[in-house]
Amino acid sequence: MIGVIGATGSTGRALVAALKEKGADFRCLVRDPAAAAEKLGGDVELVQADLADAASLEAGLAGCDKVFLLSGHSPVMVEQQMNAVNAAKAVGANHIVKLSGGSVIIKEDSPAMIGRGHWQIEEAIKTCGLDWTILRPGFFMQNFLNMAEMIKGMGKVMMPLPADVGLGMIDVRDTADAAATVLTSDGHAGQTYELSGPNVSPAEAISAIGAVIGKEIAFVQVPMEGAIGAMKERGMPDWLVDHQSTLMGIAAEGNMGSFGNDLIETLSGHAPRTPADFAKDHAAAFQG
């Protein structure tokens, strides 16, 4: 039995679809089972659990031998994910698969708080006595969904990045397909998998979206101070503004490029989805 934590999010929903496709035996630990059933379908086993509540995790993971661990950006990510690691040990699971961040930020002294957090959790998982596999994806194509209103309303995308900087992008469905393979086959213990397709620039990604919706979308590089001001205006908490601007700074310098391997294809059994695939499958979100 696989215990899935983070099933209702962007990557998690795609993982549930991939595990269903494989006919895997899995259970999702979710904060709100009714809301989760809406998102995941009535045919998925759901159990109420919260990463902030260690006892609920132990109850939810009872009987699981493998655990998939993901949670969104949060200032309490380390503490909460460590609750899951401890619960996995307590219930006698034997393998944890963690969705981490991109390699460039996973360091003890990373300038990105979330990167330092992922590093701490990864290190704890590697020494906890269970088998482990770490998935480190690149820049999510799905991040462009956060810009859908800008695209629909203004016909442009504003980011503090050069239009032509190379980013190692990945569609979360590819991460999910790789994760489903790792969770349902042997030979992945002790592996850190860096997952991204080839380099794609922001301008190329925007152009793929424009082509699908039949509209020219301008890409505007804004100064970092402007981007920080806009995030604050939208009411983002300081820690998240700090994290996003640090990441954009790293990306702007060309340090978030493709990992340059064929792991998506090897693990998922198909070629990495392209920005054109992403745009076609999400056209409705960008139209209007």
Ligand X SMILES: NC(=O)c1ccc[n+]([C@@H]2O[C@H](COP(=O)([O-])OP(=O)(O)OC[C@H]3O[C@@H](n4cnc5c(N)ncnc54)[C@H](OP(=O)(O)O)[C@@H]3O)[C@@H](O)[C@H]2O)c1
Site string for ligand X, 8-27 (x = CB under 6 A): xxxxx---------------
For ligand X, the closer CB: 158 or 215: 158
Q: How many residues bind ligand X (CB under 6 A)?
A: 26
Residue whose Cβ sits closest to ligand X: 9
The distance of closest approach from Cβ of residue 56 to ligand X in the complex, given in angstroms and rounded to an integer, is 9
> SS3 of 218, please?
strand
By three-state DSSP, how is residue 277 classified?
helix
Closer CB to ligand X, residue 114 or residue 180? Answer: 114
* Greatest distance between any 2 Cα atoms in the chain: 54
Residue pair 160/223 in contact by the 8 Å Cβ criterion: yes
| 6 forms part of the interface with ligand X (CB under 6 A) | yes
Output 186 or 245, the one with its CB closest to ligand X.
245
Cα–Cα distance, 175 to 272 (Å, whole number): 10
Residues 27-86 that bind ligand X (CB under 6 A): 31-32, 50-52, 70-73, 80
Q: What are phi and psi of 192, to 5 degrees?
A: -110, 115
Contact 168, 257 (CB under 8 A): yes
- Least distance (Å) between residue 32 CB and ligand X: 6
Pick 117 or 129: Cβ nearer ligand X: 117
Out of 140, 193, 219, 278, which residue is the one contacting ligand X (CB under 6 A)?
140
Beta strand 199-200 pairing with 167-170: antiparallel
Taking CA 105 as the corner, what is the angle to CA 94 and CA 102, rounded to the nearest 5 degrees? 60
Q: Please give the single-letter amino acid code of residue 216.
A: E
Say whether residue 114 binds ligand X (CB under 6 A).
yes
69 membership: H or E segment, kind and range: strand 66-69
Dist CA 66 CA 188 (whole Å)? 12
Q: What DSSP character marks residue 72?
A: -
Binding mask 162-191 for ligand X (x = CB under 6 A): ----------x-------------------
Q: Does 275 bind ligand X (CB under 6 A)?
A: no
Q: Does residue 236 touch ligand X according to CB under 6 A?
A: no
Residues at the contact surface with ligand X, assessed by CB under 6 A: 6-12, 31-32, 50-52, 70-73, 80, 99, 101-102, 114, 137, 139-140, 143, 172
